[in-house]
Chains A and B, each alone.
Chain A
Amino acid sequence: MKVREIMTKDLTAVEKDIPVRELIFILNNAEMANVPVVDEEGRLTGFISEKDLIRAALPGYFEMLHSTSFIPDMNQLAKKLAQIADEPIERFTRTSVMSVTEDDDDLQAADLIIRKGVKNVPVVDGDGRLVGRVRRIDLLRHFL
């Protein structure tokens, strides 16, 4: 089966210059955990997730400790989040982004999702423009 047959045809995406506050609004309302970042022509340039924002709002030492027990309360996270709320998301965006095309095999999308442990993979056309995404649930519902 080709990716075009299983993908979710949704173009919800953001530009790199929108503030963190706006990204949180979009993720919350669209009920998405992550969203592709596109340029003015709709070409895929990156990817950003709620996980990236949480990481950005956590104290620097958290990555080393891998434990929330060293965070006394949520105030630190809230304070940091307030500090970055009006910053452009570009700083927190991952620019090395995986993608598949509509004509790729479903196996290729499945491989990326399973091997990289991501929730979904963006789908692009021949010009690199976003045309949809393959979600984990898309794989599951099509193979049942």
Chain B
Amino acid sequence: MIVTVTLNPAVDKMYWVNALKICDVTQEEFLTRALRSTTSAGGKGVNISVFLSRLGVENIAMGFVGGHTGHVIVRDLRDEGVTTNFVWTHGETRANVTLLEVGREHSPNLINESGQTILPEEMARFMRRYRSMLNRAAWVVLGGSLPPGVDPGVYGEMARMAKDAGAKVVLSTGGDALTRALDACPYIVKPDTREHKTFGDKELTSVDAIVEAGKDVVACGAEIVIISHDVTGDIAITRDAVWEIKASVPTSKFKNLVGADDVFLGGILYKLTQDAPLEEALKFGLAAGLASAESDEKICRNMSVIEEEMKDITVARL
């Protein structure tokens, strides 16, 4: 069983507009009408859970939820066939807003809330429930930012607990939460470089810098490190090899980038749980991510579309 953890999930609210009007003078009203909108459960672990469930993989989604938006998340996940195991909190789960201008969908505007503050007793309740789930977990995905009030060392603690229980750990986050979990030696590490192209104190501005940063993490004990190079390319570093995964797809084809990176990781996980070689997993993962980016739907469920995307992807050893 795969267990995904999203401590700071969100309701993803997406709006498509013709043009986003930006006001620079004071006026009574300022209105941009949405052509259409969608609402869905979001957050790294949540997105991976939905993707896996759409491919028929049973999984459990865990984390914190609260208030009306918390119910939206739980309901959406259940409708997707994901098993839910969330701790209810006193606050309201955050909402993240994405604005997509028609014709410029490859450059979305994102407004992400920081999330509800988690109380110590809520964290204790979650850790207890997390521990009880580890006896059924073969893989544990720790994904996304940490909500206010949570110790940045928590992913390290959770990774160690999962490893002690015999599960492989996938870590996808950024900042302190990432660097402080590395000594727990997760199986897969995927730094979130959306906001800052850095890893610790290293700037990830070139392939060489990415490879060097990845090798440092592998030296810490991770098996696979995957770092985004650009929007259509990633680099995977293992103890024995460095792979460059690239897609020859114009960014103008992208309709919706939200969640595509999570689907990429979900696709890799999907293949690795079937004992596929890493090369095949990387190719499938990027194909799944591209298929999602090129569809209006946040997460692509169509296997034939994913397989078609694989034709445009190359995986080469560096």
A12 touches B131 (CB 8 A): no
Residues of chain B in range 75-108 having any CB-CB distance to chain A below 8 Å: 78, 81-86, 88-89
For the complex, is B135 an interface residue (Cβ under 8 Å from A)?
yes
B88 touches A132 (CB 8 A): no
Number of chain A residues close to chain B: CB under 8 A: 19
For the complex, is A137 an interface residue (Cβ under 8 Å from B)?
no
For the complex, is A42 an interface residue (Cβ under 8 Å from B)?
yes
Residue of A with least CB distance to B133 = A42
For the complex, is B71 an interface residue (Cβ under 8 Å from A)?
yes
Choose among A12, A25, A31, A132 the residue that contacts B71 (Cβ–Cβ < 8 A): A31
A12 touches B86 (CB 8 A): yes
Map CB proximity to B onto A23-44 as digits: 1 under 8 Å, 0 otherwise: 0011001110000001011100
Known interface pairs A15-B128, A29-B66, A40-B131. Does A9 touch B136 (Cβ–Cβ under 8 Å)?
no
A7 to B71, CA, bound (A): 18
B131 touches A9 (CB 8 A): no
A129 to B81, CA, bound (A): 19
A8 to B131, CA, bound (A): 22
Known interface pairs A25-B88, A26-B88, A31-B71. Does A10 touch B132 (Cβ–Cβ under 8 Å)?
no
A41 touches B132 (CB 8 A): yes
For the complex, is B188 an interface residue (Cβ under 8 Å from A)?
no
A12 touches B85 (CB 8 A): yes
Residue of A with least CB distance to B66 = A29
B66 touches A132 (CB 8 A): no
Choose among B66, B83, B125, B131 the residue that contacts A131 (Cβ–Cβ < 8 A): B83
B135 touches A11 (CB 8 A): no
For the complex, is B60 an interface residue (Cβ under 8 Å from A)?
yes
Minimal beta-carbon separation of B31 from chain A (angstroms):
35
Known interface pairs A26-B88, A29-B88, A30-B88. Does A38 touch B132 (Cβ–Cβ under 8 Å)?
yes
Residues of A within 8 A of B (CB): 8-12, 15, 22, 25-26, 29-31, 38, 40-42, 129, 131-132
7 smallest beta-carbon distances between A and B, as pairs: A29-B88, A11-B85, A9-B83, A42-B132, A10-B84, A30-B88, A41-B135
Can you identify 15 A-B contacts, CB atoms within 8 angstroms?
Answer: A9-B78, A9-B84, A10-B84, A11-B60, A11-B84, A11-B85, A12-B86, A25-B88, A29-B66, A29-B70, A29-B89, A30-B88, A41-B135, A42-B132, A42-B133
